[in-house]
Structure 1
Amino acid sequence: MNMHTADVIAPPAPKRLEDMRLSVVMMRDILLKTMFRKSLEMVSDLAVAMCIPGIVVQELIDMCREQRLMEATGTLNANNGNEMGYQLTDAGKARALDALAQSEYFGAMPIPLDVYRQQVKRQSIRNIMVTRQQLVGAMGHLVLPDDLLDQLGPAVSAGRSILMYGPPGNGKSSISNGIRDALGDQVFVPRAIEYGGQVITVYDPIVHVIAPEPEQDPTALRRRTPYDQRYVRCERPTVITGGELTLDMLDLKYNATARTYQASLQLKSTGGIFIVDDLGRQSEPPQSLVNRWIVPLEENKDILALQSGEKFEVPFDTLVIFSTNFHPNEIFDQAALRRIFFKIKVDGPSQANFLKIFAMVAKKKGMPLNEDALIYLLKVKYPTIDSIYANYQPNFLVDQMVSICNFEGIPLQMRPDLIDRAWANMFVKDEHIVK
């Protein structure tokens, strides 16, 4: 079943306070802190700030008035549709300050972890079936051997871990990005989740790309019901890490000043893709990184810990793509390799594909092809490196020749002497430098 944007079931908006499934004290305190920090008085403004319906805000306000923490201002605001305004009493301000001392979090009401789990299932990456056409469409700019797509397709559709390995410069990163583009649908990302009374912020504008809201059909008999605004409609998330990845990035990050948590990288990537590029270049050994993922990869759940040491389970619904220039046997033991479901070798192009890529790049850069220069490149230069081709080389060589022509003030052209100059910059001569 191919779950596209309209088919991902949206989280229903809460209709009453009891639908929130949060402790009343926590909700009350977030309301007081939000009013105090943002100087808000109107139910409609508080509903926007806390991402919950006005009717639920009103229930909370009525409760706070009973507890003498809040009072009506006694004036109707003409600018706000004659809404009644509310303000904190002295007792309400004292409670807000006390609550802020315990946690600085205010604004969007968090979603209980158990409720979020249900949404993760509704929009699981494992519900997606990627067709050959979608994959080709997303990677049409890459020249790839047919058998590579034969392997990639089932791997992506399974939503299981993938290890891509092979010599550098052959498009492993581009393929990872192409897989991300092929998914093409959207998910609902929580602004924050709650576990054990602790707030964990999830939505991160650096990781999550907000998707445009689908247009309402004015002729439709039934209007689309609004979804829970505590979620943000986003493209399926993609987290890309390289040599900077460390094990602590995979744990919750505690802010001691605000006394709140930020979601780990893989929790932010839920429903999407986590790409570990350049595996083997991190300060942590690759085996340690994969060991950290053994339980999540096998059981679709991750174990995280609070400051108190309490451990709890979160959903692990992520397509993990490892990419490395090393042979898998050099960096993993057999137990780790067993856990990675698909292992795909990404080799350099054949000579025919290399020429295809070269022609595409030259056309894009406005560089006319020259048969003599190409024969010189293939028959004289490439034998010096055992005629091993890489996908990055056409781009590099054409860019170099463009730069040389611009510097020399001559029209863009391809000549054996220009290829010599471009080639000299692609490889560094092996020599001893006297210090």
Structure 2
Amino acid sequence: MNMQVSNVIAPPAPKRLAEMQLPIVMMRDILLKTMFRKNVDMVSEIAKAICLPSAVTQELVDMGREQRLIEATGTLNANSGNEMGYQLTEAGKSRALDALSQSEYYGAMPVPLDVYREQVERQSIKNVQITREQLTKAMGHLILPDSLLDHLGPAVGSGRSILMYGPPGNGKSSISNGIRDAMGDKIYVPRAIEYAGQVITVYDPIVHSAAEADEDDKTSLRRVGRFDSRYVKCERPTVITGGELSLNMLDLVYNPTARTYQAPLQLKSTGGIFIVDDLGRQEEPPQALVNRWIVPLEEGKDILALQSGEKFEVPFDTLVIFSTNFHPNEIFDQAALRRIFFKIKIDGPSQENFLKIFALVAKKKKVPLDEASLIYLLKEKYPAIDNVYANYQPIFLIDQIISICQFEGIPYQMNPDLIDRAWANMFVKDEHIVK
């Protein structure tokens, strides 16, 4: 029976060695390398180290014994339920060293790419149903017009690409993070996948936040080991890149020392969100970056290349969010714009929403509101910038006021003089500096 987390079906654990769909020599060598490197000598310990069920691990150990690479130590470990101990023979140590010289990879047995594809289908981002309530709750810390959620909801629910554009400082990054928080369910991320005998590591603690074990996992022995432990149960991943994004970051990364590959950012974000923040600030032109995504966005698959030059397909199941301060027509041609499914403008707040944000921030930071100061801000200051309000401004101004009050040694307060001093730091006066 398949176990579910939310509505995601967990990957079933293999029951026999014959089900593994991995090259037998590769599995044997990973076993030998792991025993050699981790100094594990009981099947229960080895099984934990290579992330396979004990029955499958025992089959591997028995195969190693038949090939005279592993031998029983003849001692039973009383502390571990009288388990038999095993060790590498001299031939086994020699084979482990030889295998390590070909690839340093040991530990978790990789998941074959084709098997991983099946799991990607089970937990596809396109299966996520997000309600207005979930989205509103996840965006609860933001004051957003209802019309924005009207556009955002269907965009997120479709699992298609989104372009958010508009002036800086209005929360495009916060909205992207809110979308991630609205998802709320868990998926399974492989520690490593295998293609053509090559190992590609996928699980990355920086990108993937491993979920705590379920309460029922702790209390019910029957549930433990019910899903394939070559995977880690995680929140849906979010990869955020900004001006540092370059095209080569979307290629497989080869480690010549370990002779293994590391998954590129978009593969690590499978089942989750890939946010390209500040589009237009990268070294490569935005058009080139979007062109790189066209096939994956349209066909649901990406093409990667091994060191040998061999190309292969991997699943592309990611909600891509592009965020830019430029108008889309300035940075894309019409063909690229057609391929980005949703275009959503994130504008500055109305005066009414600006005041709501200002009041909320002041309350949170314990700065008493002053009506005369607010009138001064709206009537004297904002006309100088054509009454253009931005979401970042209330936090900026109130933080400035707090800093001035702390410096002057006075209680937190608001008055026109403090508004003037805070405002002076928000904008730099245009002037010619003599060099």
Name the TM tier (shorter chain).
Answer: over 0.9
2:400 and 2:194 map into 1 onto residues whose CA distance is 54
1:85 equivalent to 2:76? Answer no
Cα distance, 1:7 vs. partner? Answer: 2.1
1:433 and 1:35 map into 2 onto residues whose CA distance is 68
Query: What's the counterpart of residue 376 of structure 1?
Result: 376
Per the normalisation by structure 2, the TM-score is 0.97
Residue 335 of structure 2 aligns to which amino acid in structure 1? Answer: A
Mapped contact 1:274–1:320 kept (Cα < 8 A):
yes
2:212 and 2:403 map into 1 onto residues whose CA distance is 40
SS at match of 2:258: coil
1:256 equivalent to 2:268? Answer no
Cα distance, 1:70 vs. partner? Answer: 1.1
Mapped contact 1:171–1:392 kept (Cα < 8 A):
yes
Mapped contact 2:267–2:316 kept (Cα < 8 A):
yes
The number of equivalent residue pairs is 433
SS at match of 2:254: strand
SS at match of 1:347: coil
Query: What's the counterpart of residue 271 of structure 1?
Result: 271
Q: Which digits, 9 at most, give the CA deviation of each residue in 1:61-89, with x for residues without a partner? A: 11111111111111111122111111111
Residue 170 of structure 1 aligns to which amino acid in structure 2? Answer: N
Query: What's the counterpart of residue 41 of structure 1?
Result: 41
SS at match of 1:293: helix
Residue 147 of structure 1 aligns to which amino acid in structure 2? Answer: S
Residue 344 of structure 1 aligns to which amino acid in structure 2? Answer: I
Alpha carbons of 1:221 and 1:102: their partners in 2 closer, same or farther (altered >3 Å)?
closer
Q: Which digits, 9 at most, give the CA deviation of each residue in 1:12-53, with x for residues without a partner? A: 011100111111100000000001111111111100000001
Query: What's the counterpart of residue 294 of structure 1?
Result: 294
Residue 52 of structure 1 aligns to which amino acid in structure 2? Answer: L
1:419 equivalent to 2:419? Answer yes
SS at match of 1:210: coil
Residue 431 of structure 1 aligns to which amino acid in structure 2? Answer: E
Per the normalisation by structure 1, the TM-score is 0.97
Q: Which digits, 9 at most, give the CA deviation of each residue in 1:324-354, with x for residues without a partner? A: 0000000011111111000000000000000
Cα distance, 1:283 vs. partner? Answer: 0.9
Query: What's the counterpart of residue 21 of structure 2?
Result: 21
Query: What's the counterpart of residue 354 of structure 1?
Result: 354
Query: What's the counterpart of residue 99 of structure 2?
Result: 99
Comparing 379-388 and 218-227, the one that deviates more? 218-227
Residue 399 of structure 1 aligns to which amino acid in structure 2? Answer: D
Residue 40 of structure 2 aligns to which amino acid in structure 1? Answer: L
Alpha carbons of 1:428 and 1:4: their partners in 2 closer, same or farther (altered >3 Å)?
farther
Mapped contact 1:9–1:122 kept (Cα < 8 A):
yes
- Superposed, which structure 2 residues align to 1:63-82 within 5 Å? 63-82=63-82
2:130 and 2:4 map into 1 onto residues whose CA distance is 11
SS at match of 1:380: helix
Cα distance, 1:429 vs. partner? Answer: 0.9
Mapped contact 1:249–1:264 kept (Cα < 8 A):
yes
Cα distance, 1:218 vs. partner? Answer: 9.7
Query: What's the counterpart of residue 237 of structure 1?
Result: 237
Residue segments in structure 2 that go unaligned for 5+ positions in a row: none
1:109 and 1:327 map into 2 onto residues whose CA distance is 47
Alpha carbons of 1:370 and 1:317: their partners in 2 closer, same or farther (altered >3 Å)?
same
2:385 and 2:222 map into 1 onto residues whose CA distance is 66
Mapped contact 1:4–1:186 kept (Cα < 8 A):
no
Query: What's the counterpart of residue 177 of structure 2?
Result: 177
SS at match of 1:216: helix
Mapped contact 2:4–2:10 kept (Cα < 8 A):
no
Q: Which digits, 9 at most, give the CA deviation of each residue in 1:68-118, with x for residues without a partner? A: 111111111112211111111111111111111110000000000000000
Q: Which digits, 9 at most, give the CA deviation of each residue in 1:225-255, with x for residues without a partner? A: 6100000000000000111111111111000
2:224 and 2:207 map into 1 onto residues whose CA distance is 28
Over the aligned positions, Cα root-mean-square deviation in angstroms equals 1.5
- Superposed, which structure 2 residues align to 1:116-127 within 5 Å? 116-127=116-127
Q: Which digits, 9 at most, give the CA deviation of each residue in 1:108-134, with x for residues without a partner? A: 000000000000000000001100000
2:72 and 2:288 map into 1 onto residues whose CA distance is 58
Mapped contact 1:28–1:60 kept (Cα < 8 A):
yes
Query: What's the counterpart of residue 205 of structure 1?
Result: 205
Mapped contact 1:187–1:235 kept (Cα < 8 A):
yes
- Superposed, which structure 2 residues align to 1:317-356 within 5 Å? 317-356=317-356
Mapped contact 1:280–1:331 kept (Cα < 8 A):
yes
Residue 89 of structure 2 aligns to which amino acid in structure 1? Answer: T
SS at match of 2:6: helix
Cα distance, 1:6 vs. partner? Answer: 3.1
Cα distance, 1:221 vs. partner? Answer: 12
Q: Which digits, 9 at most, give the CA deviation of each residue in 1:280-331, with x for residues without a partner? A: 0111111111000000000000000000000000000000000000000000
1:5 and 1:139 map into 2 onto residues whose CA distance is 24
Residue 140 of structure 1 aligns to which amino acid in structure 2? Answer: G
1:330 and 1:379 map into 2 onto residues whose CA distance is 34
Alpha carbons of 1:219 and 1:211: their partners in 2 closer, same or farther (altered >3 Å)?
closer
2:286 and 2:199 map into 1 onto residues whose CA distance is 32
Residue segments in structure 1 that go unaligned for 5+ positions in a row: none
Residue 369 of structure 1 aligns to which amino acid in structure 2? Answer: L
1:83 and 1:273 map into 2 onto residues whose CA distance is 45
Query: What's the counterpart of residue 114 of structure 1?
Result: 114
Query: What's the counterpart of residue 428 of structure 1?
Result: 428
2:171 and 2:199 map into 1 onto residues whose CA distance is 40
Cα distance, 1:5 vs. partner? Answer: 3.1
- Taking only the aligned residue pairs, the percentage that are identical comes to 79
Cα distance, 1:213 vs. partner? Answer: 2.1
1:222 and 1:90 map into 2 onto residues whose CA distance is 39
Alpha carbons of 1:193 and 1:221: their partners in 2 closer, same or farther (altered >3 Å)?
closer
Cα distance, 1:224 vs. partner? Answer: 7.0
Alpha carbons of 1:41 and 1:220: their partners in 2 closer, same or farther (altered >3 Å)?
closer
